[in-house]
């Protein structure tokens, strides 16, 4: 099988954890490295959570700690959504996986430069690490096949009326990445809000009958409640659960499930109320060359199958080990 070399950059975070489960359930992905940054929580917590969750799902992969705060803005975390610990108060495993001695940017740089093949970067947090990498080492650009990012939105926001969390936390990093010329697939709220799993559908998790699925169900139960407390976060979150970050992997392993178009995207950096907004030029008014494929539709049934197949695979694998 032809494997796709992948680097995952994330801020675990409940939906980041489920994204990791999907990624590591896919044999076609050759995951070289996982890096963390501050976003949902501090880097102490996101790094611990990555080590803990990857220990639990028995993956032996390098985990490198990333930057501890956005390039300019003050860090705003989302413990109200993900819980004080960051994984919905679910205890996965005491990490046996050790944090890499390489900081994230060095690890990403060295992994990219050492690769004979183009590398796919799956990013599901603020783009702080990737933005800083591209500033420090623009020579890596030709080594990146695509950045599949969960972030932004053509319409709406969840951290402000117009800004999505990952873009809001570090808009400057996002602007560096979107200006870089590196190919981007953007899974913004436009598509992640459509890639919902209903409460009823999510209840299937517990019927999978594995310890992994049980814990994942507990984490989803926490996430459903916290999301429902912020009604403007997404319409109908009581019933429609959005595991946003899973889209960034799904867009790579099952692109046929998605529809999107190429648009010019820039990031608002100075808006009094709109900083962090991803301005998607979907009317092509700017006349500027598109710099991202912005996803806007999903085959929800196919997406749900992907999600549950991943949970089944990981759960079964752990039982057999």
Per CB under 5 A, residues contacting Ca ion are 11, 13, 16, 124-125, 245
91 Cβ neighbours under 8 A, 6+ residues apart:
none
d(CA 283, CA 184): 19
Residue 15 makes contact with ligand RIB by CB under 6 A: yes
* Residue closer to ligand RIB, measured from CB, 125 or 260: 125
Residue 170 within binding range of ligand RIB, rule CB under 6 A: no
Pinpoint the alpha helices (H) of the chain. Answer: 14-25, 43-56, 79-82, 104-114, 128-136, 165-169, 171-179, 189-192, 199-202, 204-207, 211-228, 246-253, 300-320
244 tagged catalytic: yes
| Tokens found for residue 74 | 């003050």
Cα angle value 175/180/186 (rounded, 5°): 65
Q: Is 39 among the residues that bind ligand RIB (CB under 6 A)?
A: yes
Binding mask 69-98 for ligand RIB (x = CB under 6 A): ---------x--------------------
Residue 294 structure tokens: 């912005």
40 sits near ligand RIB (criterion: CB under 6 A): yes
CB of 242 to ligand RIB, least distance (A): 8
Looking at 69, 244, 284, 296, which residue is catalytic? Answer: 244
Q: Which range in 1-9, 89-97, 160-168, 278-286 contacts ligand RIB by CB under 6 A?
A: 160-168
Segment lying near ligand RIB (by CB under 6 A), choices 9-17, 26-34, 60-68, 296-304: 9-17
Residue 172 binds: one of Ca ion, ligand RIB, none (C-beta under 5 to 8 A by kind) = none
Nearer to ligand RIB, 143 or 247 (CB): 247
CA distances to 109, 129, 181, 182, 208 from 264, in Å? 27, 22, 11, 13, 42
Distances in Å between the Cα of 243 and the Cα atoms of 60, 273, 278, 318 are 24, 26, 20, 22
Alpha carbons 115 and 59: distance in angstroms, whole number: 21
Among 164, 170, 190, 268, interactor with ligand RIB by CB under 6 A: 164
- In the complex, minimum distance from the CB of residue 123 to ligand RIB, in angstroms, rounded to a whole number: 9
Q: Map residues 99-128 to x or -, x wherever contact with ligand RIB holds by CB under 6 A.
A: -------------------------xx---
Nearer to ligand RIB, 17 or 311 (CB): 17
According to CB under 6 A, which residues from 273 to 312 bind ligand RIB? none
Asked if 245 touches ligand RIB (CB under 6 A), the answer is: yes
Q: What is 64-87 written as a DSSP string?
A: EE--SS-SSSPP---HHHH-SSSS
CA dist list (Å): 176 to 126, 133, 167: 12, 10, 12
* List of residues 6+ apart from 305 with CB closer than 8 A: none
Chosen residue from 166, 210, 278, 291 binding ligand RIB by CB under 6 A: 166
Q: Which positions touch ligand RIB (CB under 6 A)?
A: 11, 13, 15-16, 39-40, 78, 124-125, 150, 158, 164-166, 244-245
Active site residues: 244
């Amino acid at each position: 099988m032809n494997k796709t070399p992948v680097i995952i950059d994330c801020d675990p975070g409940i939906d980041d954890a489920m994204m990791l489960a999907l990624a590591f359930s896919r044999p076609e992905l050759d995951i070289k490295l996982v890096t963390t940054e501050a976003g949902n929580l501090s880097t102490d917590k996101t790094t611990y959570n990555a080590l803990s969750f990857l220990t639990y799902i028995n993956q032996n992969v390098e985990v490198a700690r990333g930057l501890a705060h956005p390039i300019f803005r003050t860090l705003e975390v989302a413990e109200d959504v993900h819980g004080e610990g960051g994984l919905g108060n679910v205890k996965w495993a005491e990490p046996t996986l050790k944090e890499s001695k390489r900081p994230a940017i060095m690890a990403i740089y060295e992994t990219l430069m050492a690769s004979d093949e183009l590398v796919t970067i799956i990013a599901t947090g603020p783009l702080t690490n990737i933005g800083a990498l591209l500033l420090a080492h623009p020579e890596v650009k030709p080594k990146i096949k695509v950045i599949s990012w969960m972030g932004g939105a053509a319409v709406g926001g969840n951290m402000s009326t117009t800004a999505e969390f990952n873009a809001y936390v570090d808009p400057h990093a996002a602007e560096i990445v979107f200006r870089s010329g590196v190919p981007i697939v953007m899974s913004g709220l436009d598509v992640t809000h459509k890639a919902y799993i209903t409460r009823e559908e999510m209840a299937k998790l517990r019927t999978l009958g594995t310890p992994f699925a049980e814990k994942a169900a507990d984490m989803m139960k926490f996430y459903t409640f916290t999301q429902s407390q912020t009604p403007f976060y997404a319409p109908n979150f009581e019933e429609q659960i959005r595991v946003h970050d899973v889209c960034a992997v799904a867009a790579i392993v099952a692109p046929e499930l998605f529809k999107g178009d190429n648009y010019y995207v820039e990031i608002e950096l100075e808006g009094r109320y709109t900083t962090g907004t991803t301005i998607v030029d979907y009317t092509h008014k700017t006349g500027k060359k598109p710099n991202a494929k912005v996803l806007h539709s999903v085959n929800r049934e196919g997406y749900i199958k992907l999600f549950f197949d991943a949970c089944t695979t990981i759960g079964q694998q752990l039982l057999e080990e």
